[in-house]
Amino acid sequence: GAVVSQHPSWVICKSGTSVKIECRSLDFQATTMFWYRQFPKQSLMLMATSNEGSKATYEQGVEKDKFLINHASLTLSTLTVTSAHPEDSSFYICSATRGGFAGNTIYFGEGSWLTVV
Amino acid sequence: DAKTTQPNSMESNEEEPVHLPCNHSTISGTDYIHWYRQLPSQGPEYVIHGLTSNVNNRMASLAIAEDRKSSTLILHRATLRDAAVYYCILRDGTGFQKLVFGTGTRLLVSP
């Protein structure tokens, strides 16, 4: 199956700093990418949808100025957590699809653990 | 987003078949039924998806009710590696076609 890779797998940062997480589709062109966050023992919560070359669409309640999403190419999307705080510590997961058709499979990355100290 | 209802947990013995149910009574004609599963500390893994007809792949089978208001994911012979949280998700055939996760079913497999 298609491969989606995230980097880094885990990161620790100081409160107030920014951290960037990358999501790459390794063997297909991803016109649409999604970003999720997941707290322990909870389900995935969709944060935003990004289409290549356009601004991301954020879910209600997600601060777009805090969670900056860039999808500059068909194989790369980035999530930047700005001015991180301990409550932003979570498991962040990206997914990607060729897009355009609801029957297309969506492939997920391995996830990135963020710990803010 | 159309919602799905799944049991919180189910148990199975190794090498036995497992039937994981999902109710989606408000499904629309353009919604695809997707199943994903997630192991601890990993991203979700695609299992199977379908629209109206039953589907089979190397991992599982998907049985869709004739009125499409429910579906069942079938694992033909459970293994210990199948222990995971299974999510049944409706993906809108229009709009942004995003996947919105519910709470899923935690499958426990005993040796």
Indicate if the pLDDT at residue A105 is higher than 90.
no
Greatest Cα pair distance in chain A:
41
B86–A contact, CB cutoff 8 A: no
Q: Among A14-18, A37-41, A71-75, B17-21, which is the least confidently predicted range?
A: A71-75
- Are the beta carbons of A46 and B46 separated by less than 8 Å? no
As a whole number, the mean pLDDT across chain B is 92
Number of H helices, E strands in chain B: 0, 9
pLDDT: is B46 or A54 the higher one? B46
CB B71 within 8 A of CB B63: yes
Are B97 and A99 within 8 A, CB to CB?
Answer: yes
Q: Encode pLDDT of B74-110 as tens digits.
A: 999 999 999 999 999 998 777 667 888 889 999 999 9
| A62 neighbourhood in chain B, CB within 8 Å | none
The DSSP bridge pattern shows strands B45-50 and B55-56 to be unpaired
Per-residue confidence band for A99, with pLDDT thresholds at 50, 70 and 90: low
pLDDT at res. B48: 95
Contacts of B46 in chain A (CB under 8 A): 1, 105-108
pLDDT confidence of residue B2: 61
At residue A1, the pLDDT reads 62
Whether B49 and A105 lie within 8 Å, measured CB to CB: yes
- On whether any CB of chain A is under 8 Å from the CB of B39, the answer is no
CA distance A82 to A66: 5
DSSP state of B59: S
Q: Can you tell me the distance from the alpha carbon of A91 to that of A43, in angstroms, rounded to the nearest whole number? A: 11
How confident is the model at residue A36, as a pLDDT? 97
Query: Is the CB of B17 inside 8 Å of chain A's CB atoms?
Result: no
Mean pLDDT of all residues belonging to chain A? 92
Q: Are strands A107-108 and A90-97 parallel, antiparallel or unpaired?
A: antiparallel
**pLDDT single digits (tens) A31-82:** 889 999 999 989 999 999 988 888 899 999 999 999 999 988 999 999 999 9
Contact between B62 and B54 under an 8 Å Cβ cutoff? The reply is yes
In whole angstroms, what is the distance from residue A71 CA to residue A80 CA?
Answer: 12
